[in-house]
Amino acid sequence: MRLLRQRKKLYMAKLVCSKCNIGWQILEHDRYCGYCGSETFGFSVKWKEKPFYYEGDRTDLHVLTILVENDGATPITFQPIQIQSGNALTPTEKDKTFTVRPGKTYTTEVQVNPNKLKTEYSEKITVSAIDVSPNQDDKKSLELHTLPIPEFKLKPNSFFLEYPKSKESESIVINIEYLQNTLHIEDIESTQELIEEVDLSKAPDNVSLKINLNQLEEGRNFDTLVFKLHGPSKPIEKQIQIQAKQLPEPAKLFVPETDLDIIQDRKQTGTLRLENRGEETLDINNIVLENTSGLVQLPDLEFPIPIEKGHPQEIEISVSSIDVEPRTHPIKLTILSNCGTAKRYEHTLNVQVKEREEYPHYLAIDFGTTNSCCAYIDENDEYKLKLITLEDKTTDDSGNPTIPDPNIMPSSIIYRVEPENGRDYDVGSKAETDRTDGRDGPYYISSVKRWLGYGWHRKFPNNEQFQPVDVVSHILKHIINKAEDYLEQQNLPSKVTRCVVTHPTKFNQQQQDALRKAFVNIGITDHILIDEASAASMGIIFQEYNNLSDDYRLLVYDFGGGTIDIVLSQVTKKGDNITIEPIARDGDPKYGGDDVTQAIVDYIISEYRQRIEEIGPEHEFEIPYYGPGQILQETEYPDKDNATRSNTATLYRDAENMKRDLAINSETVFSGQLNIVNGSVKRMNDFVKDIIKEPTQFQDETVHQDYLQSIVQVKLTEEQFSLYIQRALYNTFAMIDTMIADTGDRLPNLVVLAGQSSKMKFVKQMMADHFKNKYKKDIEIHLDDNPKTCVVKGAAQYSMPYTVSVIGGDVNTANLSNKTHTRLGITRLKLGIGPVFGEIIPKGKLIPDESYGTTELPLKSMLVPIKVLEHFGSDDSIDKGKVSPINTFNLELPDDAAIEELRSSKLEMVVNHSGEIQLTAIVGTNKYPFTVQRETPAFVDNIHSKDSVIKIEKAQTTPAIKPVKPQTISPFQRKAEKAIQDTRKQVEDITREYQEGEPISFQNFFLSKPNQRVILVLNLITQDLCKWTSELKQSGQTDIFRIVEYAEKVMKEKLQVFRAEDIPTPETLDPPTNVTTQDEMNRIRKKCADFIVKFKDRLRGHELNRKIDITLHRQFILQVIKNHLFNNLAQNLPIEELPARMIELLDQADLEIIPIKIGETEADSRLHDIQGSKWADVKRGTIVEVIQHGLMKKNDGEIVQKPVVIRGE
């Protein structure tokens, strides 16, 4: 039995380790598991919640929980809880043992009587294990005693806070100095609600409190902090003090969200707004754009940029969507500043590039000399024709509109020295406003349409070189951009790809080509040209549709800003359908409303000059202003420059107003204040007052004022004005008479006045009087309700499909714009007269059905240049005012061309469907096309003023009273000013003559290069031709004069083209004029003479340094001498009677006549062009007759032109 009990006990002692869980058995005295090494025995005792009892704090009974945890690998049995050292603790489970399995926790409770706890000693609780090996710790204890109430100090307890107004909170750190070893802070509260947040992570050494700054007042603030501790039931209060001071807000950058919308292929500006939401100055130190790909560009900025609060800075940025795909482009900006919150501020600018939908119709543009307007077809509103707003609507300080009609835009442009709002130029009213600007004023241009087809020498900013066609392109581009933006606003497709544009009736082919080129330059290749009067006819007919008879004649008289255009149309009505066909066109391409305005300006200036000279002849004065085509050349006298700008603006503004007044009133008055320069700048009224201020003559101040007003006010009556405008209008009335006569003498049923200038009421009266006096009949004359816009609306109507539905019927346009507007031909040489116009295609022929013609043209060489001309008159004269060159065409015959058939060749001219002229030489049965050589446009000087077309005589007498206030000036100063003025005039004349192809002398110039010798010959030959022409004109030799004059003209035209580009401008001549002695005067004259010499030398140097094609220019000289002079003269004169000057010119060209002796010189086909033979009393085979003499080079004998001869039989 005993052995059995021992085996059982051994078996029972075999326990399993609870840590490794593999069934490893642990023997009774094993301290560690033999497999995992864990301790087999161990336990811990702790409070579930550590108790704190403070002396005198509480008296009620309290239950504490004790946790006994088995940390070993085997179960442990414990004795009952034992209490030592007092009776304050009582176990709830007395005399009870308990077992705790491995990894488990046993919970037991102890009842505490706080009143019996002492601070001097502790109550001890002991937990003991049973059956423990001697080397194992079998007891664990817990102690409990009362603590004294915690005592601590706050360091610091006074704080000084400086903070900006916008700051909402600030953290302060309070160090706690406590006397006990234990201080458990659970929370801290504020009696003044100053604390927003408590940070106890470093308690009890210190605590961090976030103070609500909005609760603080400026100055001292007191608050009681309530400390809630772990243990004591009552919190402990501590007082703190906060000294508060509000500071100005630090600089704070704010950039509002910025989104920009831009249409594809457009340039515009946007605004980047930078705000300072602080109170201190914000300094922007740099702005960096990232990855813009040229879409966005910043201007040149000077950093730092200071920004004060309430004064945001708007930075203009340039946006260009040219060649940028349509989508949203985020543009990153980095702004560096002294911002208190973000010194590196990141901002994203979103640029939305939109793609326009193509506008399906033609955009109609009336590109006028003075004003322009634009119309479109609104398919959303029954296809009505509507005007486009081209000008921004603005008002003055009183709220009155500053632009009378935003649909009408001045056709003027001003180029900027520095880009403004991202633009290199401004168009329209903005250009008009800034034309007197000191910086950009010199680059103001108006009435540019008059110069289309020509060139000019003008200065543009940044050394740009623009010709009239370029300027027109810029204005048209502005109009189209405005139109596209307007169409976009109307929710219509807005990308303009096709246009119909009006032009004056007498726009020549060269001008029409230039207008087409202006559109091509801006990407508009689909465009239609229609003359302004025909367009107005379309507009009128659609307005008068219901009033039209079946057979109707309509005359439209379009009196525009730069031209007068007239068209007579036949209107045929069948039922609801009508057909419109212009049957005659004419007009004045050089007269319009601009000339009327200039005439008024000239009249005002003339009146003032006469009146002041009468009342004060001793006073020298100047009324400075600049007229059409002039620019302000700034001087060293800013006051005078400002006076010039002010006078210019006043004169033209008031002249336009006076012209409008005469449309409704019988008289108008100019009373604007001008400036006078008389040593210094004075107002007109003050200057006149100084002259007439004689108290003895004006006892009554009222009489004095009336007299003053009679001088400074200029009256213009309707009768007076119409009297002097009659000549220009009567010339156009004569054109109307011719048009009526050429179309069967049938009078128009209705005359419609269009164009802004037609609103002057005497125009209508003069037209009515003309028909009544000429034809003894009253014709209905109607002034269109809106004479300016009827042209553009008619153009828009014309651009619709060829058949347009109108009130149940159709309107058909027949040959509205596809007829030849002028006569086309070439120059012919008429025996006894000289050069005349040879018509090939008449005016008014349908294009292309009737626009062709042929003429006999014997060819004299294999290389033939022909200049095609257009003629505006009905005769054959080639006067400059009637004939305009179109292009030069060159023919180079192949080597296998039939030489014997050249003298019977013909010239064929065709105007094709696109309006281009084509020339073909017909030689026998073969046709050889000419190639076009584009003419370099003739250059004009658009700087100097010109006389107005009409002169207005003064209408009122000058008062007889002439009080005088003497004023002295040095006589030498007057002479000096006159010498300088004469020198400037001489330079202008030299420049003009140089531009017109007058020859220049190269005496004393060393010519070392071949091209210089060719240039010398060009000028020498032209010089000899000029002298010869003068001699012939005086002698009355008409036949030879015509031939030589034409050759002179050809040579001068070549020099014009040759000199067309980069003509040197003279330097500034501004010597001081305040001279008082003869010696000083002599020095001024010498300086002026040297100035002329120096300028001539510059022209010579410019001429000699030109790069030319020597071969072509020698060939040109040869052609002129041979074809234009020698052959024409030799046909009419015996060879021995050729003028000596002809022989001299041949010598200049290194040519001589091939010698032939009748009956002696053998006819040789290698040397002569043998045209046949005849019987004669000469040696057989010798030359019996010379039809045309030949030429050869002097230096090498090379034959230039074979003589045409008859061989003897």
Same domain, 118 and 192: no
Instruction: Give residues with Cβ within 8 angstroms of 662, minimum separation 6.
Output: 668, 716, 718, 721, 760, 761, 762
Res. 849 pLDDT band, cuts 50 70 90:
confident
Average the pLDDT over 1095-1112 and give the result.
81
pLDDT of 1006: 65
- Paired residues of 934 in beta bridges: none
Structure tokens at 233: 């039931």
Same domain, 1056 and 1172: yes
Helix, strand or coil, per DSSP, at residue 19 = coil
Same domain, 165 and 243: yes
Task: Give me the count of residues in the chain.
Answer: 1209
Res. 545 pLDDT band, cuts 50 70 90:
low
- pLDDT digits over 454-468, tens only? 777 677 888 788 889
Asked whether residue 1138 is assigned to any structural domain, the reply reads yes
Same domain, 158 and 55: no
Average the pLDDT over 399-407 and give the result.
77
Reply yes or no: is the peptide bond before residue 156 cis, omega within 30 of 0.
Answer: yes
Q: What percent of the chain stands above pLDDT 90?
A: 12
Same domain, 4 and 82: no
Average the pLDDT over 992-1007 and give the result.
78
Which of 127, 147, 167 is a domain's end point?
147
Which of 219, 247, 275 is a domain's end point?
247
Structure tokens at 720: 């007076």
Asked whether residue 143 is assigned to any structural domain, the reply reads yes
Q: Are strands 258-263 and 344-354 parallel, antiparallel or unpaired?
A: parallel
Q: How many domains is the chain partitioned into structurally?
A: 4
Structure tokens at 808: 């149940």
d(CA 886, CA 892): 20
Res. 952 pLDDT band, cuts 50 70 90:
very low
Structure tokens at 630: 């002039």
Res. 1055 pLDDT band, cuts 50 70 90:
confident
Identity of the residue numbered 969: I
Q: Output 605 or 438, whichever has higher pLDDT.
A: 605
Q: What is the pTM of this model?
A: 0.54
Range of the domain at 206: 152-247
Query: Cα-flanking dihedrals φ and ψ of residue 523, to 5°?
Result: 90, 10
- Only one residue has tokens 């000399």, namely 369
pLDDT of 221: 93
Asked whether residue 340 is assigned to any structural domain, the reply reads no
- Kind and range of the H or E run holding 594: helix 593-615
pLDDT of 103: 83
Same domain, 99 and 222: no
d(CA 1083, CA 1075): 10
pLDDT of 506: 76
Same domain, 122 and 177: no
Asked whether residue 553 is assigned to any structural domain, the reply reads no
Res. 702 pLDDT band, cuts 50 70 90:
low
pLDDT of 810: 62
How many Å from the N-terminal Cα to the C-terminal Cα in the chain?
182
Same domain, 1007 and 1071: yes
Asked whether residue 1052 is assigned to any structural domain, the reply reads yes
Asked whether residue 393 is assigned to any structural domain, the reply reads no
Structure tokens at 767: 């037209």
Average the pLDDT over 713-738 and give the result.
82
Res. 875 pLDDT band, cuts 50 70 90:
confident
Same domain, 1141 and 1044: yes
Structure tokens at 324: 């940028």
**CA angle at 418 for the pair 412 and 419, rounded to the nearest 5°:** 70
Same domain, 176 and 82: no
- Paired residues of 1120 in beta bridges: none
Query: Cα-flanking dihedrals φ and ψ of residue 614, to 5°?
Result: -75, -40
For residue 807, pLDDT over 60 is answered with no
Same domain, 60 and 176: no
Which of 247, 265, 293 is a domain's end point?
247
Q: Output 1183 or 953, whichever has higher pLDDT.
A: 1183
d(CA 387, CA 371): 14
Residue 226 belongs to a domain with what CATH number?
2.60.40.60
Residue 68 belongs to a domain with what CATH number?
2.60.40.10
Contact of 507 with 530, CB cutoff 8 Å: no
Contact of 88 with 116, CB cutoff 8 Å: yes
Asked whether residue 531 is assigned to any structural domain, the reply reads no
Same domain, 143 and 159: no
d(CA 95, CA 598): 132
Asked whether residue 843 is assigned to any structural domain, the reply reads no
